[in-house]
Amino acid sequence: MQVRSATAADTGAIAALHRDAFGPWEGDVIADLVAKLLTDKSALPLLSLLAEEEGRVVGHALFSRVEPGAKNPGVAARILSPLGVASRHQRRGIGEALVRTGLTRLQNDRVGLIFVLGNPDYYSRFGFVAATGLGLDPPHPLPEDWRDAWMVLFMDAGLKDRISTGTVLCSRVLGQAHYWQE
């Protein structure tokens, strides 16, 4: 398996991957979200990564810019959304490889915080912790059973003591309320 940066030529393969990874209920929604994020100037800079095996796209991860609250100017932050792996390639470490590659690249770019809305059991293995308890609130209220799924990773450990509480602001596209509901 190889992880590389996605290009404009990969757009169709990325959409097909997310349709497969998220299935008939969510696949079209996620594919549409990715297409819109890739053209959303307020999401820049983006980090879009592909995993390939034998020339086929088997995974995709997208990190886009967020603002970690008005009281934290100058703190570079991203959100991982979405992460998808082709259905027949899941549970083989592809998602983990995409996340770890993304985190390494973002750390090299001096990004201080990474947010995610996802399974706490999965994302805690990378060092993500619940963000709401730290006062870093999601852009929109979450269903009660999702509260622990709103997570943050401090890429710069010194930020834990310096970060101010507030609402995290996503790009124009990802900031839409319907992406934060069941």
CATH no. for residue 92?
3.40.630.30
pLDDT tens digit string along 86-124?
989 989 999 999 999 999 999 999 999 999 999 999 999
pLDDT band at 161; cut points 50, 70, 90 = confident
- CA contacts within 13 A on the Cβ side of 111: 26
Q: Domain total for the chain?
A: 1
pLDDT band at 70; cut points 50, 70, 90 = low
Give the range of the structural domain holding residue 80, as residue numbers without chain letter: 2-180
Q: Does 169 have pLDDT greater than 70?
A: yes
